[in-house]
């Protein structure tokens, strides 16, 4: 899968993408990453890409022309069709369900803007969708683009050591949060490993993990239960612990 990042800070984006799972996937050719700087596509001698907003007010607004040229260059670099995404507090909240949908596409062009915003005419003409990673404001869209890069990238074939990892994550196929995890040593002053995990009884371990998923979700994110895949046994367990679904 190919990612094209339109950003004023390409070196920052490349450096962040060099580490961990995503960095290894790029090295192995499982993911492609290309960065495009709008300052390279402006005729302004000072490489300006922003201007004061009409109507007054604080902040600066990114200009249409440099962004338009940058996007055209990114599109022309590869014949593959791409979905164009801009990150904004006004965008739809990014969810794991949307991540799974985007992961099926061959190419994404991610626009990480800065300043007060982007000239609306560029967004209207060239952006397919706007996304937000939460109800807060950042200085720019770079961190949001990296979030999407990692969330989508890790779902590509061969990126994770085990394909089952993505299935068992929080917000996976079940729609529930993940269960707690433990490792060595078995005994610590801060607590013990639940005995069931040491039993070797795989059926009992599977039941414990499912129960923990249900209880963790009910306690921490109860709104997720309304859309989760729950069996009659799941509902009975939740009811036993005082949760009604």
Strands (E), 65-167: 83-93, 107-111, 117-118, 129-132
3-class DSSP assignment, residue 167: helix
pLDDT in tens, 157-211: 999 987 667 666 778 888 999 999 999 999 999 999 999 999 999 999 999 999 9
**Using one digit for the tens of pLDDT, what is the confidence trace for 8-31?**
999 999 999 999 999 999 999 999
Give this prediction's pTM.
0.91
pLDDT tens-digit series, residues 102-114: 999 999 999 999 9
**Is the preceding omega at residue 62 within 30 degrees of 0, hence cis?**
no
Q: Which residues are catalytic?
A: 89, 116, 154, 169
């Amino acid at each position: 899968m190919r990612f094209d990042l339109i950003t004023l800070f390409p070196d920052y984006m490349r450096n962040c993408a060099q580490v961990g799972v995503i960095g290894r996937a790029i090295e192995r050719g499982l993911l492609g990453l290309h960065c495009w700087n709008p300052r390279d596509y402006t005729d302004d001698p000072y490489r300006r890409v922003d201007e004061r907003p009409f109507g007054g007010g604080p902040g600066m607004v990114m200009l249409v022309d440099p962004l338009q040229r940058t996007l055209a260059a990114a599109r022309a670099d590869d014949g593959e069709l791409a979905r164009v995404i801009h990150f904004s507090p006004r965008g739809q909240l990014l969810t794991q369900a949307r991540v799974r949908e985007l992961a099926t596409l061959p190419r994404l062009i991610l626009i990480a803007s800065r300043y007060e915003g982007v000239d609306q005419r560029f967004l209207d003409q060239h952006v397919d969708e706007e996304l937000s990673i939460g109800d807060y404001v950042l200085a720019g869209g770079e961190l949001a683009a990296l979030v999407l890069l990692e969330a989508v990238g890790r779902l590509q074939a061969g990126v994770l050591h085990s394909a089952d990892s993505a299935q068992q994550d929080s917000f996976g196929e079940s729609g529930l949060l993940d269960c707690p995890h433990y490792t060595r040593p078995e005994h610590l002053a801060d607590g013990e490993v639940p005995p069931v995990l040491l039993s070797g009884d795989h059926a009992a371990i599977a039941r414990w993990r499912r129960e923990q998923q249900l209880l963790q979700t009910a306690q921490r994110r109860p709104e997720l239960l309304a859309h989760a895949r729950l069996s009659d046994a799941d509902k009975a367990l939740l009811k036993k612990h005082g949760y009604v679904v």
